[in-house]
Amino acid sequence: MEIKIQLLEAIEEANEIASKLQEKKLKNDLRSKLAAACFAVSQQHYNSILLLLSRNPPLQATAFALFHPHIESCIRGLWLSHVASDAEVDKYVSSRTKLDMASMMMKLDAALGLSSHQSIYKYWSALSAYTHTGELQIQRWLKTNDIEPNYTESEVSELIKMSGLFAGLAYRAVLAISLEP
């Protein structure tokens, strides 16, 4: 699929999700509010990725950099809503959580009977390299004699696809903590 078409479809889907989420009434407990805030941040990252890619010229480096926090905010929201103890929720709200992302993913997988942490964590350092101007990010700028972004169409397509999957996951997670279906 051509990137422009894929991007337009993703933007349409993101707008539809945003419209549906705006109308949702959420549970009022601290756990649900914290999780919902994480999912809202994740949705903003997703929309920002799409916005950056739709620019002319596209701002691909920043779009790729946002993928890591997009995933992380979704995982934190899932951890808060499904795994965190009441004490961990209290620690989270007061910025005293010492749990690293790998531990959150493993606890989340154990609680839900999954093994996704291995797949996600396998690519975590690569995601970090894009976010923190690591070698993978910089290598995309040095493929020609000029200093300019040079991301392949398949890399951009994969970013759109994967970020859409996490946006959908965050959307479904918000539905789970909504007062109405």
The pLDDT of residue 75? 92
- Sign, CA dihedral 85-90-95-96, equals negative
The rounded mean pLDDT for the chain is 90
The pLDDT of residue 102? 82
Among 46-50, 108-112, 138-142, the range of highest mean pLDDT: 46-50
Three-class DSSP category at 178? strand
Distance CA 137, CA 133 (A): 6
The pLDDT of residue 158? 94
**Global confidence as pTM:** 0.90
- CA 178 to each of CA 43, 76, 85, 112, 169: distance values in angstroms, whole numbers, following the listed order: 16, 18, 20, 19, 14
Distance CA 22, CA 12 (A): 16
pLDDT digit string (tens) for 144-167? 888 889 999 999 999 999 999 999
pLDDT range class, residue 118, cuts 50, 70, 90: low
pLDDT digit string (tens) for 15-52? 999 999 988 899 999 999 999 999 999 999 999 999 99
pLDDT range class, residue 97, cuts 50, 70, 90: confident
The pLDDT of residue 140? 87
